[in-house]
């Protein structure tokens, strides 16, 4: 799985693993992606969405 979110289009990041002797090896930070059936623009469709987007969608709008 590519680990790409279809809503925010974020993709995996790359970095380094670092052990005690400071030997660096490449690693991959993959998003936490889930398959959900959501209504987008009035159309229900299956999407791959990251958990950050799911949490943002469930937030209540601010009231003044």
**Given pLDDT bands bounded at 50, 70 and 90, which one contains residue 37?**
very high
Average pLDDT, the chain: 92
pLDDT for the residue 1:
52
**What number is the average pLDDT over the span 18-41?**
94
How far is Cα 50 from Cα 11, in angstroms, rounded to an integer?
10
pLDDT for the residue 63:
81
At 51 the three-state DSSP class reads helix
**What number is the average pLDDT over the span 25-50?**
94
β-strand partners of 39: 44
């Amino acid at each position: 799985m590519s680990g790409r979110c279809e809503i925010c289009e974020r993709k995996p990041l790359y970095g380094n693993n670092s052990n005690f002797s400071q030997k660096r090896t490449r690693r991959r930070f993959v998003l936490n992606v889930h398959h959900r059936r959501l209504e987008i623009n009035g159309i229900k469709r299956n999407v791959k969405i990251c958990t950050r987007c799911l949490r943002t969608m469930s937030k209540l709008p601010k009231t003044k």
